[in-house]
Structure 1
Amino acid sequence: MKTTKLGNSDITVSSIGLGLMGMSGIYGQSNDEQSIQTIHRALELGVTLLDSADVYGNGHNEELLGKALKGRRDQAIVATKFAFQSDFQTISGHPDYVKKAVDESLRRLNIDYIDLYYQHRVDPNVPIEETVGAMSELVQAGKVRYLGLSEASAQTIRRAHAVHPISALQTEYSLWSREVEADILPVVNELGITFVAYSPLSRGFISGELRRFEDLAEDDARRNLPRFQKENFQQNVDIVEEILKMAKEKGCTASQLALAWTIAKGALPIPGTRRISYLEENAEAANIVLTPDELARIEAVSPGSAIQGGRYDDSHMKGLNI
């Protein structure tokens, strides 16, 4: 596995990470034993950056990761997040909440420190300087090594970085979600911040495995996202067909092609999966080299303007890029 240096830190991480959200029932039923085996296989492959959050499964995800890391803590770079309440709507960046949240995460993870601690969403009612100031105190206390933000605006990133060095900015980024290229990527590159791309496969759409809306389980949260609605689904599937054709020519899968594109754009993708076979497939993407012509062709067959439906519903979108 190729590696990269985490921004403004002395940590070296794998150039592809593993997102754990789907291991806690977000996309239908999950299996803890299977998930732990997948995490163990990730570490064997050198996939060291493991991404969790306190809200995933209302604490379940961190507990799961804690069990998986028993006896293996030194092999992993643990990233987790705070801010969301269990309803995925209410957000808190109050200093008192920051200190309470980290202690609860450490307890669930059953570890002494967190390598990378993110504010999951910016609280519009609390100045970012206050939130990051409290996060900085966690570093001084040895509970956290490095700090990150998620879905923050360029201005907020600058303000936060002025209080304490920010090591990573995590935001959705894929062939279908390229909004960050205009304002966010230039700022993180300027400040030496690693850009961590979540949902680099557009929540499984780009893999080509989803062919019909009915393929989604009844309890799959993706059913509620605009891009997965029936009225948008088929048009988006048609775009995937072109990516599948390009992948076949390259001798790789659509997922690997999309991940290789993300890496070529300077991002660190953290695709999520519960299955070892998909994990191994994703990890291989780190070895795929795309030429400038191939990059241009990929972007031509999947322009952002062609994607039907937004990332989230209108109410959730209001909480982004603050």
Structure 2
Amino acid sequence: MALTWSPAIPGVPPCDLRRSAVSSLPSARRLSSTIIRSVRASLRLGPLFWPWQKVKVGPLSVSPMGFGTWAWGNQVLWGYQESMDTELQDAFNLALRNGINLFDTADSYGTGRLNGQSEKLLGKFISEFQGPGNVRENVVIATKFAAYPWRVTPGQFVNACKSSLDRLQIDKIGIGQLHWSTANYAPLQEKALWDGLVAMYEKGLVQAVGVSNYGPKQLLKIHDYLTTRGVPLCSAQVQFSLLSMGPEQMELKRVCDSLGIRVIAYSPLGLGMLTGKYTASTLPSGPRGLLFRQILPGLESLLFSLRRIAQARGKTMSQVAINWCICKGTIPIPGIKTVKHVDENLGSLGWRLNSDEILELESAAQDSPKKMIQNIFQTA
């Protein structure tokens, strides 16, 4: 029986070692050249990230993908019920045991009487985690502080941070983030938000600071201000996916790269539209269904490309869509509600789309007549 060796490089076939030993030198050289070209192409695309391999966000080391918890406590959009908490805890435990250590939340997550529920559940799950202590200690919580109209002084933001620490049952938040900018409707409040971040950082309540829903122009302003105060801006969270890859997102990414700021991609699956689980006749309930009805009919070409690449690679459409975000140099934070979500999303790591696949997806996305509706709090 022939011995074979597979270099596991796309486009390079396995070679029979017995035949290779007596093959002509020119053929061997051609094979070597093919391998070298494929390796170089892979290196240009970047490393193959695994959950236990960490990337830097300021002083912090985090997994190349995190998980979002917007749905935890949100009854209106995501249909949360407290009976789901056991499944949520199982999902959290599975993520942690598989190397994911970045979890994103906000002090406004949770509707009505459940306001703050997302932070409360994270705090409970962290404290009850049954596993090595160092795994629990390395959890990085990125929480966002809402720019409520009554938060108009730095002290009020410090108090908000302390309340989050209580709900999370931790001594220090990993990344303290401004949830949105008030530049569009209350520009005079903006300075208080920035000073609030500075105060949290100086008091040691957060290890790093970031922003969410800031466009490139406003990002440059807060970066320059924080620099004068000696506070590094480490992250910028933005809606980023194959449905949200417009000029604004790409310019923000360019600015962040030039300043050493990490881009955290929220809604990498377009609220679920890129999963392939929904059609015009099978829509989610509630407000999401209304949104899907408007956008899904224009996504046939993009969904076709996602499905084709997923089938060719033995992946799911969700895994391909999330991997695209990683290939673009962002840290995606898909939301999780079930163990199945975690298990599937973990399959987004450990491999990379090639350049042809990336080009196909982006071409299909650009040709789609419908795009994701942008966050109303997003600034320029």
Where on the TM-score scale, by shorter chain, does this alignment land: which range?
Answer: 0.7 to 0.9
Q: Which amino acid aligns with 1:60?
A: Q
For residues 10 and 119 of structure 1, do their structure 2 counterparts lie closer, same or farther at Cα, with a shift above 3 Å needed?
same
Partner of 1:66: 123
Q: Which amino acid aligns with 1:11?
A: L
8 Å CA contact retained: 2:154, 2:199: no
For residues 298 and 214 of structure 1, do their structure 2 counterparts lie closer, same or farther at Cα, with a shift above 3 Å needed?
closer
After TM superposition, the structure 1 = structure 2 runs for residues 175-190 of structure 1, keeping only pairs within 5 Å, are: 175-179=242-246, 180-190=248-258
Q: Which amino acid aligns with 2:86?
A: E
Tell me how far 1:46 sits from its aligned partner.
0.6
Is 1:117 the counterpart of 2:176? The answer is yes
Per-residue Cα deviation, 1:163-219 (whole angstroms, up to 9, x for no partner): 1211110000001101244420111001101100000011111110112365312xx
Partner of 1:283: 346
Greater RCO (Cα-Cα under 8 Å, separation 6 or more) = 1
Tell me how far 1:119 sits from its aligned partner.
0.3
Give the TM-score normalised by the residue count of structure 1: 0.88
The 3-state SS of whatever aligns with 2:170 is coil
Write the distance in 2 (CA, Å) between the matches of 1:94 and 1:237.
Answer: 48
Rg larger in structure: 2
Partner of 2:163: 104
Is 1:166 the counterpart of 2:233? The answer is yes
Write the distance in 2 (CA, Å) between the matches of 1:63 and 1:295.
Answer: 39
The 3-state SS of whatever aligns with 2:241 is coil
For residues 157 and 109 of structure 1, do their structure 2 counterparts lie closer, same or farther at Cα, with a shift above 3 Å needed?
same
Write the distance in 2 (CA, Å) between the matches of 1:145 and 1:104.
Answer: 16
The 3-state SS of whatever aligns with 1:50 is strand
Write the distance in 1 (CA, Å) between the matches of 2:109 and 2:138.
Answer: 22
Per-residue Cα deviation, 1:263-314 (whole angstroms, up to 9, x for no partner): 11100000112111221221121212222112111212222x51425424xx
1:133 aligned to 187, 195, 211, which one? Answer: 195
Per-residue Cα deviation, 1:51-79 (whole angstroms, up to 9, x for no partner): 11111101111111111110554131011
Is 1:194 the counterpart of 2:262? The answer is yes
Write the distance in 2 (CA, Å) between the matches of 1:151 and 1:286.
Answer: 26
Runs of at least 4 residues off by over 6 Å: none
Per-residue Cα deviation, 1:138-169 (whole angstroms, up to 9, x for no partner): 11212111001001121221222221211110
Is 1:152 the counterpart of 2:214? The answer is yes
For residues 198 and 93 of structure 1, do their structure 2 counterparts lie closer, same or farther at Cα, with a shift above 3 Å needed?
farther
Partner of 2:63: 14
Per-residue Cα deviation, 1:2-42 (whole angstroms, up to 9, x for no partner): 534333x2211000100111222331234111111111111
1:35 aligned to 69, 88, 92, which one? Answer: 88
8 Å CA contact retained: 2:52, 2:98: no
Partner of 1:5: 55
Partner of 2:364: 301
Gaps of 5+ in 1: none
Q: Which amino acid aligns with 1:284?
A: G
Write the distance in 2 (CA, Å) between the matches of 1:42 and 1:56.
Answer: 20
8 Å CA contact retained: 1:200, 1:259: yes
Partner of 2:100: 47
For residues 234 and 12 of structure 1, do their structure 2 counterparts lie closer, same or farther at Cα, with a shift above 3 Å needed?
same
8 Å CA contact retained: 1:13, 1:49: yes
Partner of 1:320: 378
Q: Which amino acid aligns with 1:320?
A: Q
The CA RMSD measured in Å over matched residues stands at 2.1
Partner of 1:24: 73
Write the distance in 2 (CA, Å) between the matches of 1:251 and 1:93.
Answer: 51
For residues 43 and 307 of structure 1, do their structure 2 counterparts lie closer, same or farther at Cα, with a shift above 3 Å needed?
farther
Write the distance in 2 (CA, Å) between the matches of 1:269 and 1:210.
Answer: 21
Tell me how far 1:129 sits from its aligned partner.
4.3
Give the TM-score normalised by the residue count of structure 2: 0.75
Partner of 1:223: 289
